[in-house]
Amino acid sequence: MKRAFRYFLSILLLFVSIGVYFSNRIMYMKKKDDLFIFNREKEAGRLNPDEFDNMPKREILIPSSFGYHLKAVVVEPHDTNQYMIFCHGVTENKLNSVKYMNLFIQRGFNAVIYDHRRHGESGGKTTSYGYYEKFDLKTIVDWLKLDRGPNLLLGIHGESMGAATMLLYAGMLEDGANFYIADCPFSDFREQLAYRLKAEMRLPPKLFLPVADLFIKMRQKYSLRDVAPITVIEHITKPILFIHSKKDDFILPSMTEALYDKKKGPKKLYMAENGVHAQSLNENKEDYEKVIDEFLESYVYRK
Q: Which pLDDT tens digit goes with each residue over 85-132?
A: 999 999 999 999 999 999 999 999 999 999 999 999 999 999 999 999
Look at 11-15, 60-64, 85-89 and tell me which has the smallest mean pLDDT.
11-15
CA 46/CA 16 separation, integer angstroms: 44
Backbone angles phi, psi at 270, to 5 degrees: -125, 115
Mean pLDDT confidence for 144-172: 96
- Would you mind telling me the total number of residues written for the chain in this entry? 303
- Measured distance CA(64)–CA(302) in Å, rounded: 35
Q: Return the pLDDT at 65.
A: 96
Q: Check pLDDT > 80 for residue 3.
A: no
pLDDT, residue 303, reads: 53
Q: Rounded mean pLDDT of 130-144?
A: 98
Q: In the chain, which ranges are E strands?
A: 57-63, 69-75, 82-87, 110-114, 153-159, 179-183, 240-245, 267-272
Spacing of C-alpha 250 from chain mean position: 14
Comparing CA positions, the residue from 122, 127, 145, 132 lying closest to residue 73 is: 122
Q: What pLDDT band is residue 266 in, cutting at 50, 70 and 90? A: very high
**How far apart are alpha carbons 66 and 31 in whole angstroms?**
21
Which residues of 16-68 form beta strands (DSSP E)?
57-63
Residue 171 and residue 189: Cα distance in Å, rounded?
Answer: 15
Cβ atoms of 154 and 83 within 8 Å: the answer is: yes
In angstroms, the CA 86 to CA 114 distance is 7
Strand 110-114 with 153-159, pairing? unpaired
Residue 167 near residue 233, CB atoms below 8 Å:
yes
**Model pLDDT, residue 7:** 66
Compute the distance between CA of residue 14 and CA of residue 303 in angstroms, rounded to an integer.
61
Which residues on neighbouring strands pair with residue 242, listed in sequence order? Answer: 182, 269
End-to-end, the C-alpha distance of the chain in Å comes to: 77
pLDDT for residue 227 is more than 60: yes
Over residues 13-28, the mean pLDDT reads: 91
CA distance 35 to 233: 36
In percent, how much of the chain has pLDDT > 90? Answer: 87
Reported as a pLDDT band with limits 50, 70 and 90, residue 282 is: very high
Using the predicted structure, report yes or no on whether residue 61 has a pLDDT greater than 60. Answer: yes
- Average of per-residue pLDDT across 135-141: 98
pLDDT of residue 13: 85
Pair 144, 152: CB distance under 8 Å: yes
Query: Angle between the 161-169 and 133-148 helix axes, to the nearest 10 degrees?
Result: 70
Amino acid 8: pLDDT: 63
